[in-house]
Amino acid sequence: MKNITIQGINWDEKSSFQRGPAQAPKLIREALHSGSMNLYSELGASADEEGILDAGDFDIKDYFSIEGITAKHLAAGGKVFTLGGDHSIAYQVIKAHAKHYPKLDILQIDAHADLYDDFEGDKFSHACPFARIMEEGLAVRLVQVGIRTLNPHQAEQAERFGVEIHEMRNLDLNTIGPFENPLYLSLDLDGLDPAFAPGVSHHEPGGLTSRQVINLIQNLDANIVGADIVEYNPDRDHKGMTAFLAAKLMKEVLGRM
Ligand code: MN
Ligand code: MN
């Protein structure tokens, strides 16, 4: 049995503004294995360990098939790390996790709360996954970090679902955690400032630095049982810098898993 399975989900049909994230998994892997960096996290864990199985990238035709792909990899017995894809995949991936971990906490790093009841008529838009997750009771706690786009509807949804929001405007990273239940980490790259991560569909200034996100991952007081990195959009990137950031964050997350 492998300790961690990596799966890439080629999917961006639920993006509301720009397509592109379907190409992300392959490009993040290429950055990771380009020879530009070694495969160790800053804490000394290797992304090249024998315990890690790379299951490759999956071309998705049906949104609802993502749950089954994830469930199959979870059934192998280890943890699953997912490269997206737009953020809509998180609902399907987390749904599969919730069946293995009836008590699951979620930490979401994002500029956006993604709590819309529907977005432009679509309940499964990348603006909605955490509304679906909370409606179905798939998480005990949902903690969001980096949020800087709350509108009245989403603030209302957050209150309705008891979401714990750490908004960017008054962020104190020392107040995040500990997490008592197994933790799923969902990392939307637009949580970082576009100065650090230009390769995303929605540029939302005033975000997290690369260092803040790395420190947050390294210092998390939690048992991370699953994670994703989503919303890399190569069409918006400069010289692959966001792909290299995603690869670096991938090493840090894998190291903590
Ligand atoms: Mn998101
Ligand atoms: Mn976002």
Ligand whose nearest atom lies closest to the CA of 228: 1
The secondary structure of the chain in percent helix, strand, coil, rounded to multiples of 5, reads: 35, 20, 45
Average pLDDT over residues 162-188: 97
129 alpha carbon, closest ligand: 1
**Taking residues 20-40, what's their average pLDDT?**
96
Q: Write down the pLDDT at residue 15.
A: 87
By the 8 A CB rule, do 124 and 200 touch? no
> Taking 90 as the threshold, does the pLDDT of residue 114 lie above it?
yes
211 Cα: distance to centroid of ligand 2 (angstroms): 18
Closest ligand to the CA of 91: 1
pLDDT band at 2 (very low <50, low <70, confident <90, very high): confident
Q: What is the mean pLDDT of the chain?
A: 97
Helix, strand, or coil here: 72?
Answer: helix
Task: Give the separation between CA 130 and CA 110, rounded to whole angstroms.
Answer: 12
Instruction: Indicate which ligand has the atom closest to the C-alpha of 88.
Output: 1
- The token duo for 50 is 């024998």
Residue 1: per-residue pLDDT: 66
Q: Percent of the chain beyond pLDDT 70?
A: 100
Taking ligand 2, which is a single-atom ion, which protein residues have CB atoms under 5 Å away?
A: 110-112, 188, 190
- Per-residue model confidence (pLDDT) at position 58: 98
Q: How far away, in angstroms, is 73 Cα from ligand 2 center?
A: 26
Using DSSP's 3-state secondary structure scheme, residue 53 falls into strand
What's the gap in Å between 112 CA and the centre of ligand 1?
A: 6
Instruction: Give the mean pLDDT of 18-45.
Output: 95
* Sign of the alpha-carbon torsion through 149, 229, 248, 77: positive
* Interaxial angle between packed helices 210-219 and 241-256, expressed in degrees from 0 to 180 and rounded to the nearest 10: 10
Mean pLDDT of all residues in 8-14: 95
Between the CA of 158 and the centroid of ligand 2 the distance, in Å, is 16
How far does the centroid of ligand 2 lie from the alpha carbon of residue 188, in Å? 6
Are 2 and 52 spatial neighbours (Cβ–Cβ below 8 Å)?
yes
